Amino acid sequence: MLTCLKIMVELVPMAILITNASEILTMTDGIGIVKNAAVLIEHGKIKAVGDVKPRKRDLMTINARGMVVCPGFVDSHTHLVYGGSREDEFAMRVEGMSYEEIAKAGGGIARTVESTRAASREELFSLGRHRLRRLVQHGTTTVEIKSGYGLSLTEEIKMLMVIKKLKKHSPLDIIATYLVHSIPRQMKRRDYVDLVTEEIIPEVTKRKCAVFCDIYCDKIAFRRKESMRILSTARTYGLGLKMHADQLSNSGGARLAATLSCTSADHLEYTSKNAIKAMCKTGVVPTLLPGATFYLQHKKIPDIKAYRKIGAPVAIASDYNPGSCMIYSMPTIIALACIVFGMRVEDALYGATIMGARALNLEHRIGSIEPGKQADIVILNVDNYKKIPYQFGEDVVRYTIKKGRILYGENR
């Protein structure tokens, strides 16, 4: 008899055969539906997809009859390591205060900076580990985690070293990003930009504790010229480039991302059609964050029709953070992409898998189900893919598999 769902961490079996899947979403040609098929996993990698006849007898079998098999979800934008909580700001917003008004009154990012600075590395590590377990339960197998709540050399390094430790102790692929998030209250803009370019970025690269540098380019954060200087410095030190762009205004962030050929530009609510074309031309992955738009009750949404017309596929991610999106479930984010942004179900699923992988420069290894790729797979308790967002709010994840290792599922 099946017991209750629970987290499991098993030794990697020599082989796993997932059989009788109602649909396998390969993400190799669009969403690439293969019906009534199987997936063979060997040594942590995908060996075969389709009508599989394994020769080995010593393999574990998962009967996925009536279920959908999908690549593990890739959450390419989170702020998962932080201290404190901001539920009072949530209450203020539902009573009518805007995100900008709360920030000007001393809330917002500055509030979380205080709480994160007050927390020890051990406390932040414990909180982060707990949050990662919850991500696994909802099918996430790869996650990007940003710093940005330190705003000083010592505190940003503290956050990044916590992320580095989480990476060491978690079965998930964790990508660390140094985020230039805001300007400390006690510093002038120019002085903080100098600190970032002359001290923090060199120390981050010296300690090898981040893959990317991200900057918040918008009317309440950094200006275009400041963003250019910081990202150009990050590039000279070998960091990949990302941007928070055009969330609250058409700040020119997306155009700058195109100019610098950033790996991704995220948010993009106010991005123009011409800027979308520029990103498409230079290979920037547009990353949309429907959870934040929904959580903040913003009326402005990205120009989904423009992306579709231009032929620019997008990534979607959670933006999990304590102020503007407490949603960490990627199936919920997929549903919100459809409900709030009007995305097609196929595009939302594509965005949560292979496009999320591209937003982290990992598409060669993860994000699709094809021979040779890492065996990162989620098995969903629905009989067709359209039910993933349709059953909004329901826990549809039956198994989460990472590198051929079952992290979450039903234990017999």
Residue keyed to tokens 């060491």: 168
In whole angstroms, what is the distance from residue 62 CA to residue 47 CA?
16
- Is the pLDDT score of 272 beyond 90? yes
- Is the pLDDT score of 5 beyond 90? no
- Is the pLDDT score of 104 beyond 70? yes
Residue ranges covered by each domain of the chain: 6-71+369-409, 74-358
* Tens digits of residue pLDDT in 9-40: 445 557 999 999 999 999 998 999 999 999 99
Cα Rg of the chain, angstroms: 21
Percent of the chain with pLDDT over 70: 96
- Is the pLDDT score of 404 beyond 80? yes
What CATH homologous superfamily does 6-71+369-409 map to? Answer: Urease, subunit C, domain 1 (2.30.40.10)
Angle ∠(233,227,218) on CA atoms, nearest 5: 160
Q: What integer pLDDT is reported at residue 106 of this predicted model? A: 75
* Tens digits of residue pLDDT in 135-187: 999 999 999 999 999 999 999 999 999 999 999 999 999 999 999 999 998 89
In whole angstroms, what is the distance from residue 67 CA to residue 22 CA?
5
At 8, the pLDDT band (50, 70, 90 cuts) reads very low
What distances in angstroms separate CA 265 from CA 98, 285, 309, 344, 356, one per listed residue?
A: 24, 6, 19, 21, 12
Q: What integer pLDDT is reported at residue 389 of this predicted model? A: 98
Query: What tokens appear for 158 in the block?
Result: 């503290």
Q: Looking at the domain 74-358, which fold is it?
A: TIM Barrel (3.20.20)
Cβ(41)–Cβ(47) under 8 Å?
Answer: yes
Query: What tokens appear for 204 in the block?
Result: 């981050």
At 6, the pLDDT band (50, 70, 90 cuts) reads very low
Q: What is the mean pLDDT of residues 218-227?
A: 94
* Count of other CB atoms within 10 angstroms of residue 342: 11
Residue 334 host element (H or E): helix 330-339
Entry pTM? 0.94
* Tens digits of residue pLDDT in 244-270: 999 999 999 999 999 999 999 999 999
Cβ(200)–Cβ(233) under 8 Å?
Answer: no
- Is the pLDDT score of 188 beyond 70? yes
* Tens digits of residue pLDDT in 49-90: 999 887 766 789 999 999 999 999 999 999 999 999 999 888
Query: For all residues of the chain together, what is the average pLDDT?
Result: 94
